[in-house]
Amino acid sequence: MSESRYDILGLGNAIIDIIAQTSDAFVAEHGLTKGAMTLTDEGPAEALYAAMGTTLTVSGGSAANTVIGAASLGCKGAFIGKVKTDALGGLFAEDIRKAGVDFLTPPDTDGPATARCFVLVTPDGHRTMNTFLGACQNLTEDDVDAEIVKASQITYLEGYLWDPPAAKAAFVKASTIARGAGRRVALSLSDPFCVGRYRDEFLALIRAGRVDILFANEAELMSLYETDFDKAVQQLQSEGILGAVTRSEKGSVVITKEETIAVPAAPIETLVDTTGAGDLFAAGFITGLVRGHDHATCAKLGGLAAAEIIQHLGARPKVSLRTLAKDNDIAL
């Protein structure tokens, strides 16, 4: 295997998050499912935006959040995702590059606008998302640079990318190239409703040997196997891959064919916004893997990164996660 140029390559939806703190009543009034991600068209998205009041606009996207989190931990990262040559597309590209991530995907000059995710944060810190995919849907196989995939230790794929058909093909191409080059492929299940739409296809990816590492929260894992948590853990264990499952304040569980390891959550002072918690957990866990740490330490590092994110609005770290790791005696 050749030397790696990147520790992590993310493939995902390039999205701008528009965040508002709101009430449970507002979520219900707009017919949204609390805690879930719902896809929408541009018209309804604009109507929701008009009703949201004061908002915070930041770059987002699940896999992009993970790669930026890994960069904050000292990893070399790259990202493949599609934006348009509009103001929000420029904002996304500027933000991800400022974070030290290589973003080389050419933007679209026509077609739908850069994607937006309207994030409603309720007083309990949970987020409900309404997403207009826009330009994300124009990601194709042609945007996947085979040499970059081959040069990346871990290719990280977000489950949300399974929605647009052309992006799905890009997803499969990247996985095939990575596995052919002897690299590892990680899949995030992203959302229980995403799993509900594509359960059989996700299981087929795992069982066809296209996935080495699976990230999920407990609701997503139970949705994948349509059973309770303990039985879902047993079923994932039988797949023979590495699983990392987050359980909110209960911490996380690392699952291999040989064992399961429970790791407690990192302490926090105040829960503000859970947006990006799973993304940053994956960032920490993957960083631990590429730095050669054992699975328990990987999960501890993931928990530290997730704890930082949930104590402020937005899914991008506000402090150096590498410094945070050092302060908690994890060498990177």
Task: Give the domain CATH number at 292.
Answer: 3.40.1190.20
User: Is the residue at 44 inside a domain?
Assistant: no
pLDDT of residue 46: 84
User: Is the residue at 121 inside a domain?
Assistant: no
Spans of the chain below 50 pLDDT:
none
Sign, Cα dihedral of 35, 38, 43, 45: positive
pLDDT of residue 287: 98
Nearby residues of 197 by Cβ (< 8 Å), 6 or more positions away: 162, 163
pLDDT of residue 302: 98
Tokens 């949930």 locate to 310
Q: Return the DSSP state at 159.
A: G
pTM attached to this predicted model: 0.91
User: Is the residue at 52 inside a domain?
Assistant: no
Identify the H or E element spanning 89.
helix 87-98
pLDDT of residue 316: 86
User: Is the residue at 103 inside a domain?
Assistant: yes
Phi, psi of 66 (to 5 degrees): -65, -45
Q: Which residues pair with 245 in a beta bridge?
A: 216, 253
pLDDT of residue 189: 96
User: Is the residue at 217 inside a domain?
Assistant: yes
Report the domain count for the chain: 1
Q: Where are the beta strands (DSSP E) in 133-173?
A: 152-158
Q: How far is CA 51 from the centre of its chain?
A: 27
pLDDT of residue 1: 56
User: Is the residue at 278 inside a domain?
Assistant: yes
User: Is the residue at 25 inside a domain?
Assistant: no
Phi, psi of 146 (to 5 degrees): -60, -35
Q: Which of 101, 85, 82, 92 is nearest to 7 (CA)?
A: 101
User: Is the residue at 120 inside a domain?
Assistant: no
Q: Could you list the residue range(s) of the whole structural domain that residue 256 is in?
A: 6-14+61-111+134-327
Q: Where are the beta strands (DSSP E) in the chain?
A: 6-11, 15-21, 37-39, 56-60, 77-80, 101-103, 115-121, 127-132, 152-158, 184-188, 213-217, 242-246, 252-255, 260-263
